[in-house]
Structure 1
Amino acid sequence: MKIESVIARQSVDDLEGAIPFYERLTGRKAERFEFAGVHLASVGTFLLFCGPDEAVSRIAAVTATLTVADLPSAVEEAVAAGATLVMPPQPTPNGHRAVLRHPHGGVYEYVGP
């Protein structure tokens, strides 16, 4: 398995107010979308999000998003190495995702085609 990129997650109180800072920091334009009742913006290597506390807490519980070229293989390899499958691979608006807890406690979202 090769992790292609790591996306840092950041909860914000005001998504539209936060976006200009991250656009300037990364030199990238924000891509806005919604998922599970949360408003999100992907800006370079950052994923900003805000929304109702209950929905945000589910998103914030994940340490980071890891992009991989082959999601099923990455999940299989991580589990074989000691990770626990929290959520099996499933489709999303941007591809597919799975959530795994690494042996040392971190919870990560894996995304891929």
Structure 2
Amino acid sequence: MEILGTTLRVCVDDLEAAVGVYERLTGSRAQRFQRGGVSVAAVGAFLLMSGPEHELEVLRKVVATLAVKDVDEALGALTEVGAEIIAGPLPTPVGRNLLARHPDGSVFEYVDRGGPGPTERQPAGLSR
């Protein structure tokens, strides 16, 4: 599995104030979207999230988002090393994602830019 990039997740109280700071630090413009009740701004290598505490509590458990070429390939590699697939692969506005708990207990989101694939599982436990 090839990891193409990493996005760091940052939960913030005031998304508008944080966006300005991260835009200046990275020299990038924010791309904004909603994910359930959470407002999200992608700025450079940062994914800023703000919303209700009960939704952020779940999102804080994810260490980072890893961009991969193919989520199905990631699924195979994760299964081989004994990772627990918590959710997915599921379609998103930009491709597909899955959440996995590595054998050491760390939780990561894996995303690709592809369309929905043949492998879709229902969330089990930690959902977005």
TM-score (norm 1): 0.96
The aligned residue for residue 12 of structure 2 is 12
TM-fit CA distance, 1:70? 0.8
The unaligned stretches of length 5 or more in structure 2 are: 115-128
**What number of residue pairs does the alignment pair up?**
113
Q: Which amino acid aligns with 2:57?
A: S
CA distance in 2, matches of 1:94, 1:67: 11
TM-fit CA distance, 1:88? 2.0
Provide, for residues 5-43 of structure 1, a one-character-per-residue CA deviation record: whole Å limited to 9, x for no partner: 010000000000101110111110000100021000000
Q: Which amino acid aligns with 1:5?
A: G
The aligned residue for residue 80 of structure 2 is 80
Secondary structure (helix, strand or coil) at the match of 1:63 reads: strand
CA distance in 1, matches of 2:12, 2:85: 28
Please, what is the CA RMSD of the aligned residues? 0.8
CA distance in 2, matches of 1:36, 1:101: 22
The aligned residue for residue 126 of structure 2 is none
CA distance in 1, matches of 2:88, 2:81: 16
Q: Which amino acid aligns with 1:72?
A: D
Question: In the TM superposition, what are the counterparts of 1:66-77 in structure 2 within 5 Å?
Answer: 66-77=66-77
CA distance in 2, matches of 1:59, 1:96: 17
The structure 1 segments of at least 4 consecutive aligned residues displaced by more than 3 Å after TM superposition are none
The unaligned stretches of length 5 or more in structure 1 are: none
TM-score (norm 2): 0.85
The aligned residue for residue 57 of structure 2 is 57
Secondary structure (helix, strand or coil) at the match of 1:54 reads: helix
